[in-house]
A and B are shown apart, each in its own frame.
Chain A
Amino acid sequence: MKGAMLSVGFIPLLDAAPLIVAQEMGFAAEEGIALDLVRAPSWSSLRDMLSFGRVEAAHMLSPVPVAAALGLGGTRAPLAAVSVLSMNGTVIGVSNALADRLRDGGHDFAFDDARAAGLALIRAATPTLRIGVPFPFSMHAELLYYWLSALGLPAPQNVDIRTVPPPLMAQAIEAGEIDAFCVGEPWGSIAVENGVGTLLLPGAAIWAFAPEKVLAVRSDWADAEPALLGRLIRAVWRAGRWLGDPASHTLGAELLSRPAYLNLPAEVLDRALNGRLVISPRGEQRETPGFIDFHAGAASFPWRSQAQWIGLQLASRNGLDRLASVQTAGGVFRSDLHRNALRQTGADLPAAVSKVEGANTPLHTDSGRLIPSQDAFFDGRIFDPSQIER
């Protein structure tokens, strides 16, 4: 029962927090495991490290395992998302030049209205809008496509969404290679700190409950090591619960700022954790409660319908069969494994495995409670996985 060491890969981002906290605050040790946290240089390398067994588990962009299951990009090793690590936590920012044009056009940078911000952005952007995202398969890209096409700017005709690694985002916007970006914290705040960008909108304003990162493992490993997997899921879930308590934010930011992890000032990490972002080099501040969530609203629960929404977007854009893709995608988010692992912990999980995304429907839990759910899309549309047309 003792001393099992698990290699877990991560990318230096705020939302790697549950993995780092699980190790540093002893939640892993409580489960009789130790996490060997391996910092990866890029998402593609991390995905390969997981596929080829260099690590047992990984911090992963939620669309990556879905894309792999649909045969898009990279490797084909079947991956399973066994927990959602974080909800939201991304931010859209613009270059200072574009920020000036937006202000000249009368935009108020209120930081909470996706429709107003999107329409202002479309008016100010000429002739095409170049936006950097961390990876082709990312919630960042999905949110941008959803947001801009709903407002009448369909990709790829007028939007050029290109890949820029997060640590290079500030540099790319300074060099004029992109006009805007969507990136996970703290990299938006770093662009503001460097005086090269202004934040326009939190990702949560587009989809209030978007699964951002997942805990991914190889499906064959999940089958072969159910006991170890259970310990890992429980340790990470307790870390997420700890992070969900506002009293943990200061210490959390300090842990993450260590050289082996993010190696960035705790003061900058703290902003997103507390939902208090500095949005411009001139120091304007915006309150965004729920900017990132690790626990509230059963955040860790991997809904099949979340994976199905991602699958539908990927299928539509890449010309795949929509119905078949949605079915395949649903099997990637393993609510069954998540529930099994947390059975004895007192976690009150949703009783269903799928929901209508965007409907704000309260969730029935295993214990018969009703918990509120805020998962609306900015344009009020809903996604019902049982109503997919080919």
Chain B
Amino acid sequence: MGHRLSVIVVENDRDRALLIVDSLRAAGDFDIHVIAGAAGLGRRVKALSPDVVLIDISNPSRDMLEELALATGPMERPVAMFVDRSDDGMTKAAIEAGVSAYVVDGLSPNRLKPILDAAIARFHMFQRMRTELMETKRALEERKVIDRAKGMLMKARGVDEEKAYALLRKAAMDQGKRVADVAQALVTAAGLLG
């Protein structure tokens, strides 16, 4: 069992794949392959006969790997999903991070741990990036709405930008709402009134 563990990363996005490979390299000496694209996934994985397969839980092609768990031919190595294993804590952590792994049956947990730890950390980072991206998008959209509302107020009441914003903020505070919500209400109402 002293051989270098071979790890397959199934990931369509090149940048994400590179990041995962980097963090695995930092975690130990592994033989790493990346597979992109769904075509013939099961066959390609089988041909490489890896010890561990890592795949994003939200990847619909994951079902193609389930066949590997059934392969029992003489030349095919049994692959079991690690959620089947005794280490529930590690499994839960992985599922929450959005990574699923398929592992050769009988691989000892202490050889597996560094791989999963690295993958879990990386996937957590992806999730944070996804959340941040969404937050940034929302913030941008809100700013656009607030700018439109300010413009309307400046025109309707003949005030400057600073004063217009102060009006919005005061209305928001009085009603216990967010400035963006008040701005949105104003823009909607103005649209209705034509």
Contact = CB atoms under 8 A, between A and B. Distances in A.
Contacts of A42: 59-63
Nearest to B81: A74
A164 B60 CA distance: 9
Contact of A175 (B39, B42, B67): B39
B67 A74 contact: no
Interface residues on A, range: 20 to 34
Given A73-B70, A163-B67, A177-B40, A51 B83 contact: yes
Contacts of A297: none
B138 interface: no
Interface string A68-111: 00001111100000000000000000000000000000000000
A368 interface: no
A117 B4 CA distance: 51
A48 B61 contact: no
A160 B81 CA distance: 23
Contacts of B65: 44
A136 B59 CA distance: 17
B173 interface: no
B38 A136 contact: no
Given A136-B67, A162-B42, A168-B38, A41 B62 contact: yes
Interface string A22-57: 000000000000000000011111001001101000
B42 A163 contact: yes
B92 interface: yes
Interface in B64-118: 64-67, 69-70, 81, 83-84, 91-92, 95, 100
Contacts of A252: none
Interface string B18-53: 000000000000000000001110100000000000
B67 A75 contact: no
Contacts of A76: 84
B66 A44 contact: yes
Contacts of B64: 162-165
B175 interface: no
B84 A165 contact: no
Q: Dominant SS at the B interface? A: helix
Contact of A163 (B58, B59, B63): B63
B83 A75 contact: yes
B152 interface: no
Contact of B100 (A45, A136, A168): A45
Contacts of A167: 60
Contacts of A41: 57-60, 62
Contacts of B39: 172, 175, 177
A72 B68 CA distance: 12
Contacts of B70: 72-73, 136, 318
A134 interface: yes
A44 B69 CA distance: 12
Contacts of A177: 39-40
B74 to A, nearest CB: 14
B77 to A, nearest CB: 16
Contact of B69 (A45, A73, A162): A73
Nearest to B88: A52
Contacts of B66: 43-44, 73-74, 135-137, 163
Nearest to B61: A165
Given A52-B91, A54-B95, A72-B70, A135 B84 contact: no
B95 A134 contact: no
A42 B58 CA distance: 8
Most B CB atoms within 10 A — which of A42, A43, A52? A42
A45 B91 contact: no
B97 to A, nearest CB: 13
B100 A75 contact: no
B65 to A, nearest CB: 8
Residue from the set B42, B57, B92 with the largest chain A CB neighbour count within 10 Å = B57
Interface string A252-278: 000000000000000000000000000
A142 to B, nearest CB: 14
Nearest to A172: B39
Contact of B81 (A43, A75, A137): A75
B93 to A, nearest CB: 11
Nearest to B56: A41
B69 to A, nearest CB: 5
Contacts of A134: 63
Interface string A163-191: 11101100010010100000000000000
A173 to B, nearest CB: 12
Nearest to A166: B60
Contacts of A72: 70
5 contacts: A44-B66, A73-B70, A74-B69, A135-B63, A318-B70
Given A42-B62, A74-B66, A75-B84, 20 more contacts: A41-B57, A42-B61, A43-B63, A43-B66, A44-B62, A44-B66, A48-B95, A73-B66, A73-B70, A73-B81, A74-B81, A74-B83, A136-B67, A163-B64, A163-B66, A163-B67, A165-B60, A165-B64, A177-B39, A318-B70
